[in-house]
Amino acid sequence: MIDSEKDKRYISVGGPSTDSKVTLSIYKDEIDLPALTTLIGCEPTSARRKGEKISGRPKMPPARIGQWFLEAPKELEFAEKVQFLLESTEPNADVWQMIAQSHTIRLSCAIFLHSWTEGFVLSPGIMSGLAAKHWEFSLSMYSAEGDEIVDSFLRNHQDNQEGKDVN
């Protein structure tokens, strides 16, 4: 007979996604990088014109299209990364509409799963910010391997049990 909370054993699975990459990606065949940077109001993390190679990476093919990228800081949570990019760039929706007429604008997101189920929430403010700036939302999710899922499951269980008397 279980008569106290300390006698119950729980294993937690899932939770918020903590491993992600979020990048504002802008593409155009004949891209004017200085003009685009001025319009956006901040320097890109990286950028290259069509045909340029990435310095220091000789095996990479030349860019098939002009590219302008701004990456969010790695240490932020997923929604915070999106918010960071919204706040770091030009706030005027008319400027973004003008850019969107001749460029592809995409918020490129990658989530790296470490459990069976993880997730995130984007607030209405973030969603309306993406729409106002004409940013497409692209999400790629990368699943953990079977052993990684089991290891995460056991690690979470162990973390939940540390400091608790389960006898």
Give the containing element (helix H, strand E) for 136.
strand 136-142
Q: Locate 16 and state its tokens.
A: 């918020």
Asked if residue 159 is part of any domain, the answer here is no
CA dist 129 and 135 (Å) reads: 9
The predicted pLDDT at position 28 comes to: 98
Structural domain harbouring 74:
16-148
Q: Locate 89 and state its tokens.
A: 């760039």
pLDDT-derived band at 24, boundaries 50, 70, 90: very high
- Predicted TM-score of the model (pTM): 0.76
Asked if residue 127 is part of any domain, the answer here is yes
Asked if residue 101 is part of any domain, the answer here is yes
> What does the pLDDT look like over 133-142, one tens digit per residue?
999 999 998 8
Let me know: does 71 contact 47? Beta carbons within 8 Å: no
List C-alpha distances in Å: 26 to 59, 75, 86, 133, 155: 23, 23, 14, 12, 39
**Number of structural domains found in the chain:** 1
